[in-house]
C-alpha cells in the first residue's frame, strides 16, 4: 500500500505583497514513482522526486516559491520525525 502525505492551506509568499494558500501532496504512483502535486486556485504542478516537471498548468511565477515551500515542509517534517526517534 502506498503512503500519501498531504499538507493543506499552506501560505506561500509569491511576491513581497502577495501571499497565497497552496496544498501539497506527496505520494507514489505505479506510473511515475514518487511525486509531489502542488495546487492552488484551480492550478496544479506535478513534479518527480528529482523535482523534474511531470505535468500541470501552474503559472511559471508560482512554481519556484511553491517548490521551495515544499522542500522546507519536507525538511522540517523529517527533523520532527528524527527528533521523536
Q: In this predicted model, which residue has the larger pLDDT, 68 or 1?
A: 68
Average pLDDT, the chain: 89
Cβ within 8 Å of residue 65, ≥6 positions away: 12, 13, 14
**Residue range 47-67, pLDDT digits in tens:** 998 999 999 999 999 999 999
Task: Say whether pLDDT at 82 is over 90.
Answer: no
The predicted pLDDT at position 77 comes to 82
The predicted pLDDT at position 85 comes to 35
Q: In this predicted model, which residue has the larger pLDDT, 11 or 81?
A: 11
The predicted pLDDT at position 55 comes to 96
Measured in degrees and rounded to the nearest 5, phi and psi for residue 67 equal -65, -40
The predicted pLDDT at position 78 comes to 77
Round to whole Å and give the CA distance between 18 and 23: 17
Cα-based distances in Å from 20 to 26, 57, 64, 66, 78: 20, 17, 13, 10, 24
For the chain, the farthest-separated pair of C-alpha atoms sits apart, in whole angstroms, at: 42
Amino acid at each position: 500500500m502506498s503512503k500519501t502525505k498531504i499538507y493543506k492551506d499552506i501560505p506561500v509568499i509569491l511576491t513581497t505583497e502577495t501571499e497565497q494558500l497552496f496544498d501539497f501532496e506527496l505520494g507514489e504512483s505505479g506510473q511515475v514513482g514518487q511525486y509531489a502535486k502542488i495546487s492552488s486556485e484551480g492550478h496544479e504542478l506535478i513534479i518527480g522526486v528529482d523535482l523534474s516537471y511531470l505535468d500541470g498548468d501552474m503559472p511559471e511565477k508560482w512554481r519556484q516559491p511553491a517548490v521551495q515551500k515544499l522542500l522546507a515542509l519536507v525538511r522540517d517534517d523529517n527533523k520532527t520525525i528524527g527528533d521523536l526517534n
